[in-house]
Amino acid sequence: MRSIIKLFLLFVLATVCHWGFALGFGFWGLSVNLMLAFALAFCTVLRPSFGYPVVFLCGLFLDFFGTKVFGNNACSFTVAAFIMYQVSPRFDFEGPLPQMLAVFLLTCLTSVLNWWLVLEFSSSILWPGFGGMLGGALIGAFCSPAVFWLVKATLHDGLMCKTQEHASF
């Protein structure tokens, strides 16, 4: 129960941070997706059975404020989470460099995926521009070590975590 409350509080913090960064850097034309950084951080800590729904909800949160398509962010976040879970056994996400690299690349991927999904499902163009996308991804990447540390420090010993996977089975 305590882990769920912690997770909920982290989610609330993620939404506030995401909107804060989106508002702050949106003025400069940068598309910062801090929610994705939080979602990827959840993937490194939570077991897939908890990680996927959390990441899906993170994406869905962004979809509530979209006007073109409902569900595109949930879809792209799920893809990002899938990639994260696939590569996590082969990469050590303890260090800041892999965290930054993962956030940077997956932010770019989700931007492209969102653009494509919105184009396919609503024939609209949702593209922040290369500068905005790369700049936003870079800022997200720079923030990611702090986000990963926060998520790990908060959820490291919960029942939903990977560290408790064998104990729970």
**What does the binding site for other proteins look like in residue numbers (CB under 8 A)?**
12, 15-20, 22-24, 48-49, 52-53, 56, 59-61, 63-65, 67, 69-72, 74-75, 78-79, 81-82, 85, 117, 121, 165-166, 169
Distances (CA, A) of 70 to 48, 49, 123, 154: 24, 23, 14, 31
In the bound complex, what is the minimum distance in angstroms from residue 101's beta carbon to other proteins? 21
20/131 with CB nearer other proteins: 20
Judged by CB, which is closer to other proteins: 17, or 155? 17
Query: Residue 70 or residue 130: which is nearer to other proteins going by CB?
Result: 70
Report, in Å, the least distance between residue 27 CB and other proteins. Answer: 9
